[in-house]
Amino acid sequence: MGNTVRELADRTPAGRDRYVDLLRVASLGTVVAGHWLMAAVFADGRVGNLLAVLPELQILTWALQVMPVFFFVGGFSHALSYRSLSRGHDAVYSVFVRARLQRLLRPTMVFVLVWGVAALALGGRDGLAGVALRLVAQPLWFIGIYLAMVAFTPLLLKLHERWGWAAFGALALAAAGVDALRFAAGVPYVEFLNFAFVWLAVHQLGFLRADGRIGRPAVLAAGGLAAAAALVAFGPYPLSMVGMPGEKVSNMAPPTLALLAHGVWLVGAVELLRVPGARLVARPRVWRGVVAANGVAMTAFLWHLTAMLGVYGAMLALDLPLPAPASAAWWAQVPLRFAVAAALTALCVAAFRAFERPAGGSRPPASPGRFAGPAAALGVTLSLLGVLGLSMVGFGGLLEGRTAVLIAVRISAPAAVVMALAGWLLVETAGRAARARAV
């Protein structure tokens, strides 16, 4: 793989914005490290959250909750990709969807299938195994949101090209309106709309970045930070920018206006670091590392919780000391747990990284792809609902009839798996058919 990485790095176009690639890797790496650190496993197999054990650490989420940066980078990349494909294909929507989602959905579907088989083999379990069947699916919410961003890119890009910052402002106002209906009027289920409004607003900032219209990053950073602080201090929003167990209100699920303000501050902050970041990633050795990490980033993200829970599972099985979370002995173990979790994640990457590579040219179907666009839209919708539903219900209830509420509708784990797989197949089929027609 080293030679391949070197070749890819050496072939990088001179005009490529390497800093964006660095942000993608750094944001996912920060999320992975944050998940590993927050996992507070007790000696009896219970899994808690370090931020609940030490609430004073919740302020750190204002710097370490960096998922908005990943979605910001996604907006930048989607704008460039869609415009490029628009110049070469008639059936651009389905081709764009397949091109953007191939390296996302293929490793995700493999993850779902492997853990689905494991859930069937383990059955209903108590202790850490039962917790793992629920927890490993939770990061899939990120996949679902990213699917929505890809699906809405053509429409939102048109709005951006016509209205610029006003398009972002409209989404931000919509997010504020949802929170007003939720907290002031008590309208049920309306909060789920902010999964779209908040994250698509952050995504819209990526469009502005692609067109060099992001403005003054210092103003963004200061304004976003001040707005987030005011909303938390005087509004109904909690301090933590990640979800906390037992909280009546979470800034993450569903997202709130406070999280949007947090995203704005982070975008301003990373833009302020753009010049030194670009100098760093211009170094050949650093750039090769970024290229290598980007090639396996999604696989590592999907399996990192599996690795961490595997570490704790092995410690419990071997009867190794498991200090109380946040104790001095617990902190002393952090470097070793991280090292072993990183090694296990690397093993998972070695086993499954082939699925993250773009598929080679396959035989085009006989269909001319007449309905490729609608089929791709339906496929994205099914995959989105499937992975979001699975992130909520987990693998533990695969054959037990357990359900979770997704946008006012109850969904079970089997239904979520079927929707995710069916949606992926539709996206693949529609994209290949449209590509064949365009060629």
Q: What is the pLDDT of residue 433?
A: 55
Rg value, the chain, Cα? 22
Reported as a pLDDT band with limits 50, 70 and 90, residue 163 is very high
- In this structure, of 148-157, 192-201, 385-394, the range with the lowest mean pLDDT score is 385-394
Average pLDDT on 295-299 reads 92
What's the CA gap between 195 and 251, in Å, rounded? 11
Any idea which residue has 């079970």 for tokens?
412
pLDDT at position 1 over 50: no
pLDDT over 80 at 385, yes or no: yes
Cα 32 versus chain centre, distance: 11
More confident residue, 436 or 374: 374
Span 322-374, pLDDT tens digits: 898 899 999 999 999 999 999 999 999 999 999 887 665 444 343 435 677 88
Q: How confident is the model at residue 438 (pLDDT cuts 50, 70, 90)?
A: very low
Tell me how far CA of residue 164 lies from CA of 89, 157, 433, in angstroms. 26, 9, 33
Average confidence score pLDDT of the chain: 87
Q: Which has more confidence, 3 or 405? A: 405
What is the per-residue pLDDT for 361? 44
What b/e sequence results for 109-124 when a residue is b if at least 16 CB atoms lie within 10 Å of its CB, and e otherwise?
bbbbebbbebbeebee
- Which residues, 6 or more positions from 5, have their beta carbon under 8 angstroms from its beta carbon? 288, 291, 292, 295
What is the pLDDT, as a whole number, of residue 75? 95
Cβ neighbours of residue 299 under 8 Å, at least 6 residues apart? Answer: 107, 348, 349, 352, 353, 355, 356
Cα 105 from Cα 147, distance rounded (Å): 9
Long-range Cβ pairs for the range 173-179 (8 Å, 24+): 175/201, 175/255, 175/256, 175/257, 175/260, 176/257, 179/256, 179/257
Q: Specify the pLDDT at position 120.
A: 82
Residue 277 has pLDDT above 50, yes or no: yes
